[in-house]
Chain A
Amino acid sequence: MYSFEFEKPSTIADAVAALGAEDAQALGGGQTLIPTLKQRLAAPSALISLSGIAEMKGVCVNDDGSVSVGGATTHATVASEAAGSYPALAALAGQIGDPAVRNRGTIGGSIANNDPAACYPAGVLGSGATIITNTREIAADDFFEGMFSTALDEGEIITSVRFPVPQAASYQKFLQPASRFALVGVYLARFADGVRVAVTGASEDGVFRWTEAEQALTKEFRPDALMDLRINPANMIGDLHGSKDYRAHLVGVMTKRAVQACV
């Protein structure tokens, strides 16, 4: 790792101020960032840890029934604390990495990084969640801008994420056997006014909504509704672990299984 300063503010305001320094970078749980730093692929002047900010931690149910998750909340906390209020999201959090990673990794860190094979982007986009930062609210549909790219500005901090709770939802993850990220992960959420399907792991553009499937399932919520739908393999990731065709196929299978899990 290159040398950097470390700060651990206890308020959002202090964190924002610290991030104002040139080349300062926010540190969530560090489960992706620290390996990146070890490879010397990044050279921040300072890491501003968000783990000491109490107001950014925890899961709560809002008056309108939506669930808010603090940006510095670990996956393990979401897996346990959201189990009653939003079980599909809790289940997703419980499938990220491994237990030790889940004790450190945070939702804010994960979605700010927007790894194309990460689980949370599918859950956030599939739920139609709202990302709340120190300056504004961003709809999930506007937040994810392609592989490792988001709508966040320099120094902007995800303070929480607000999830509307669907009638039914399911995350189906097919493991990349080495990293255990998603080779393909599908998050399906059924709301009164329609179905949302978000896919991670599969596309070179990062997480995306499979709108054809959403339309078909909104019309008719059963596995067979997907029968004639095919994802175009052209934009899929093809690598050591699976061809483009295979990933396109898996999107269909995982979506079908998500429907089955919801009915």
Chain B
Amino acid sequence: MTQVSMTVNGKSVSGDVEGRTLLSSFLRDHLSLTGTHVGCDTAQCGACVVHVNGEAVKSCNMLALEADGADVGTIEGQANPDGSLNVIQQAFQDHHGLQCGFCTPGMVMSAAALLKENPRPTEAEIRKYLEGNLCRCTGYHNIVKAIMAASGQDAGKIAAE
């Protein structure tokens, strides 16, 4: 066991982990932050996407010890300080961008990373960026719409009902 310390959603945390402990396991099992989901074992589904030092990474494909000292953000830390949904979360609700909710944390975290580097992405840029996030429920229509809306674009006009 080795001690690992990091900042998660602005809070300092630490714990004893094995070399093989994944960041996703550390978040879920040690910190009980179960909003980060694990949907595959080949780094494809993206349900486990979190931010490490501001960048989107697949937490089930990164060792917890690799995140020692890092600033980690998870879905649990995304809402506004008053607890209300942030702009992206609100857009997902407004545009029905989720159904079963399992892929949703990863989608929201990826969307946040996208909008940070590209504040007004086109439909094509959004679809391309979501290459690493699988959703089986929505057919992606309303996810793309929600992200456009979150970036201040008129999603209704672009995606005719």
Contact = CB atoms under 8 A, between A and B. Distances in A.
B61 A5 contact: no
A228 to B, nearest CB: 36
Given A35-B43, A98-B132, A180-B131, A47 B19 contact: yes
Contacts of B2: 6
Interface in A163-184: 179-180
B18 A101 contact: no
Question: What band does the interface of chain B fall in when counting residues whose beta carbon is under 8 Å from A?
Answer: 20 to 34
B65 interface: yes
A37 interface: yes
Interface string A1-18: 111111010000000000
B132 A6 contact: no
Question: What band does the interface of chain A fall in when counting residues whose beta carbon is under 8 Å from B?
Answer: 20 to 34
A100 interface: yes
A99 interface: yes
B56 interface: yes
Given A35-B42, A101-B61, 9 more contacts: A8-B65, A27-B63, A30-B61, A49-B65, A98-B133, A100-B110, A100-B132, A179-B44, A180-B131
Interface of B: 2, 18-20, 22, 41-44, 46, 49, 52, 55-58, 61-63, 65-66, 68, 110, 113-114, 129, 131-133
A5 to B, nearest CB: 5
B69 to A, nearest CB: 10
A100 B19 CA distance: 22
Contacts of A4: 19-20
A104 B132 contact: no
A101 B63 contact: no
Contact of B62 (A2, A30, A38): A30
B144 to A, nearest CB: 15
Contacts of B49: 100
B33 to A, nearest CB: 18
Contacts of B68: 8
27 contacts: A3-B20, A5-B19, A6-B65, A8-B65, A34-B22, A34-B63, A35-B43, A37-B20, A39-B41, A46-B19, A47-B63, A49-B65, A51-B66, A97-B43, A98-B132, A98-B133, A99-B56, A99-B113, A99-B129, A99-B131, A100-B56, A100-B113, A101-B61, A101-B132, A103-B56, A104-B57, A104-B61
